[in-house]
């Protein structure tokens, strides 16, 4: 899902741009969510939940350039969110370039520019229903949930063990399990989450995964794990 925010103090314009974004996503069959903000300060505490932020360059209190600069400092080396500046003043473009925007949208040709922008960004991020973003090592990494083998926790971190390597995320395992539980994952132990697709054998006190990886199976989770696993097999074979 492509997560989008629109930031502008003119709510009439916000609604107009939002309608164009919705039309583009629906026509291109891109699953999306969209939130609206009336000034740059309001999005600073929520910026990390978005892949793409449309910013009007000219806004009171905190304009689009200032907002982007603040978010750039907060996000560090993270790939997202990407910024798209919206303006009707070409002379502001050079100043805005300092904030490393993805592109610019001209208010005079919004419909065409927005359509091209969203399609390119969706393709470049390769966002689909099975993609999640992990904030690991000061950057956001796109991970397909099908490639996640299991999760475990170490102190204040959750380690995502995947086919393409391990990712260390500062979080708690309850929070991360909620994000992926609907994708065929089970909780065999308070400190572990396992992808059903990688389960090879369920023993009395452990689960053997492919590649001979063994994770503990707590007694109180055992029946729930077995039930969810066999239900998952049944649903997959239908």
pLDDT at residue number 127: 61
Which distant-in-sequence residues (6+ apart) come within 8 Å of 19 by Cβ?
none
68, 101, 125 - which closes a domain = 125
Q: What is the mean pLDDT of the segment spanning 37-43?
A: 89
CATH number at residue 220: 2.40.50.1020
pLDDT at residue number 102: 56
Which tokens go with 224? 């729930």
> 191 falls in which pLDDT band (50, 70, 90)?
very high
- pLDDT, tens only, 79-138: 778 888 887 755 444 444 444 455 777 777 788 888 888 888 877 776 666 778 787 876
Same domain, 94 and 208: no
Same domain, 143 and 196: yes
Q: What is the mean pLDDT of the segment spanning 41-50?
A: 86
What domain range is 192 assigned to? 131-237
Q: What is the mean pLDDT of the segment spanning 3-16?
A: 92
Which distant-in-sequence residues (6+ apart) come within 8 Å of 89 by Cβ?
57, 58
For residue 235, pLDDT beyond 60: yes
C-alpha dist (Å) from residue 108 to 6, 40, 94, 111 = 17, 22, 18, 9
Distance CA 171, CA 157 (A): 5
pLDDT at residue number 99: 44
Provide, rounded to the nearest whole percent, the portion of the chain with pLDDT above 90.
Answer: 43
Same domain, 87 and 171: no
**Which of 116, 232, 215 is CA-nearest to residue 173?**
215
Same domain, 155 and 214: yes
pTM: 0.56
Which distant-in-sequence residues (6+ apart) come within 8 Å of 53 by Cβ?
4, 5, 6, 7, 43, 47, 68, 71, 81, 82, 83, 84
How many domains, the chain? 2
99, 125, 151 - which closes a domain = 125
For tokens 């590649």, the residue is 211
Same domain, 216 and 155: yes
Greatest alpha-carbon span in the chain: 69
Which tokens go with 70? 């603040």
**Which of 9, 141, 150 is CA-nearest to residue 79?**
141
Same domain, 154 and 96: no
For residue 237, pLDDT beyond 60: no
């Amino acid at each position: 899902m492509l997560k989008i925010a629109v930031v502008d103090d003119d709510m009439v314009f916000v609604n107009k741009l939002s309608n164009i974004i919705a039309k583009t996503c629906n026509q291109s069959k891109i699953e999306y969510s969209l939130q609206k903000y009336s000034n740059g300060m309001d999005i600073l505490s929520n910026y990390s939940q978005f892949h793409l932020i449309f910013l009007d360059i000219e806004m009171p209190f905190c304009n689009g350039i200032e907002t982007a600069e603040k978010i750039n400092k907060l996000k560090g080396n993270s790939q997202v969110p990407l910024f798209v500046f919206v303006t009707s003043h070409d002379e502001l473009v050079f100043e805005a370039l300092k904030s490393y925007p993805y592109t610019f949208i001209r208010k005079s040709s919004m419909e065409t520019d927005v359509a091209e922008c969203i399609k390119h960004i969706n393709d470049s991020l390769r966002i689909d229903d099975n993609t999640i973003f992990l904030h690991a090592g000061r950057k956001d990494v796109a991970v397909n949930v099908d490639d996640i083998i299991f999760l475990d926790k170490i102190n204040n971190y959750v380690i995502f063990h995947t086919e393409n390597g391990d990712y260390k995320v500062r979080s708690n395992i309850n929070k991360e399990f909620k994000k992926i539980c609907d994708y065929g994952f089970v909780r065999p132990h308070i400190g572990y989450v396992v992808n059903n697709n990688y389960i090879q054998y369920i023993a009395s006190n452990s689960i053997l995964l492919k590649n001979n990886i063994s994770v503990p199976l707590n007694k109180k989770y055992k029946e729930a794990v077995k039930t969810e696993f066999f239900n998952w097999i049944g649903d997959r074979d239908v």
